[in-house]
Structure 1
Amino acid sequence: MIEAESLTKRYGANTAVDSINFTVRPGRVTGFLGPNGAGKSTTMRMILGLDRPSSGVVRVNGKAYARHHAPLRQVGALLDAKAVHPGRSARNHLLAVAATHHIGAKRVDEVIGLTGLEPVARKRVGGFSLGMGQRLGLAVALLGDPATLILDEPVNGLDPEGVVWLRGLARRLALEGRTVFLSSHLMSEMAQTADHVIILGRGRIVADAPVSEIVARADGDSVQVRSPQVDHLTHLLQAEGATVSRVEADLVSVTNLGTSRIAEIAAAAGVVVYELTPIARSLEEAYIALTRDEVEYRTTQTSPEVNR
């Protein structure tokens, strides 16, 4: 479990993390989201004792990370997969890390197998692709068989098979009762992996809730309605408080009114309906809506047209 209380980090006049409170619980995958500059990496570094909070506290499995006698057995972390001596082989790197916690070679070989590193285990890390480097970083994180895992952009560089593998691994570890805390910019992947999300914006928590709740409470779920009598139907729906916008000549998008009620109104008025399709918002759409005012960098111009 990870617990943050009034966690704050200032760099001079800049407040990177602003008195945040959250709990990452075991038994589920918790996603950590936010625009660039939101404070995600700073928060993760404070959890792992790499940055000292300006105020507030953060505990991992009941105590500060630095107070754990054998932290690798408590917390497995992947923050920078490139932090490896390029002249070492993957296996020798893992053996060196394992030696700091009296972890045997048997466990090293287990995590090599678990992360799919067997074909390159004895090759120098300096020649690794980004994806293989990520797998090595994950192997280090898993080495101590920890109760808590903190993974920053773990799918970065992985091929599609690797992304599916990591998704399954994260969910399996959570089902074992571990705490799994991971960040990603891939909303579609987070939607398939995380049970719960914490969203930061400009150093403050914007949302802290299950994925299903984040999506459900976001404004904008709509219903697509196609009808040859679309103008008449539009007036009927607007009279019921719906917001209706034209998509095509015979197709409208309706919000603030459910599918069943739309069908009832159309049937009562004798209006023919060819299509009635509910369109639920995705996690990506909900995230964009929640962080619209929190982004540090914003595009102000559209791309120029390409001359053909």
Structure 2
Amino acid sequence: MSRMNCWICGKCVIGHGPMKSHLQSHIEERKDECDICGKVFTAMSAMKAHRKAHTGLKNHECVICGKMFTGISDLKMHKDTHAGVKNHECDICGEKFSQIGNLNIHRKTHSGFKSYECEMCGKFFARNEHLTRHMDIHAGIKNYECEICAKAFADSKTLKSHVSVHIGVREYACEICGKAFTQIGNLRRHADTHTKVKNYDCEMCGMSFTRKDSLAGHMHAHTGVKSDACQICGKAFLKMGYLNTHKKTHLGVRNYECEVCGKAFARKGYLAKHVHIHTGIRKYECDICGKSFTFPGSLKSHGYVHIEV
């Protein structure tokens, strides 16, 4: 085996493998410290790249959104957010991220350790930035406004989730029944319906729910209270879900298309009713003359011809 001298300390080492291990010991011993924040690095190049963060100098610009970055590697990771590339998946809940750093931060939410407490309401958070955003709610600060409906939010993430309701993007699907949702929080709440016990019973009809707020929303169907109103036309609805579906009529979003004639509709129910025109099914019959109709509204309008003036 060949004898080699270490170029760092001059020690004689026999064999390439032992020399590689010996050099590694020098790498582990080397600690280049940032003179500004004290962070330690094993390589001088890494420390120099880190120091740029303290200078505030950002020479690398994203050609898509114009955001500036201190390092080219940061810019490359940022571009993945525009491309929709999400290669880093949480092994606990399945949520995907474009950057490993965001995934590592996300994992803390599963640990249950929340050390940041809101002094106003006592709510705890896993991250300081989550607490900071939360404080804006108490302060009434809402700087992020939806361009579609003008509704304002305290942070950009909540606004992004809200916009998905308008455009109809449902990227979070239930693995059990396949139902899709616009927000992962809604998917998690839905998943409870498959796994959790329904302890909240409706005293009027006996229907059961896994969550208290779901029961409260259901009660509107019995009381007739329509508390969710459209900000555009003022029409009120029993449930927020009905309101969100209604808003699509103002936006012109029509994702349900008839395979026969190509006519598109904002709601799946509207399409189902429309299909009856092509099938010729007329299940709504007049009790007086026997004439049948495709829609209940048409039968109701027809009924007036039998009313004596």
TM-score w.r.t. length of structure 1:
0.24
Which structure has more helix as a fraction of its residues?
2
Which structure has more strand as a fraction of its residues?
1
TM-score w.r.t. length of structure 2:
0.24
Between structure 1 and structure 2, the one with the greater Rg is 2
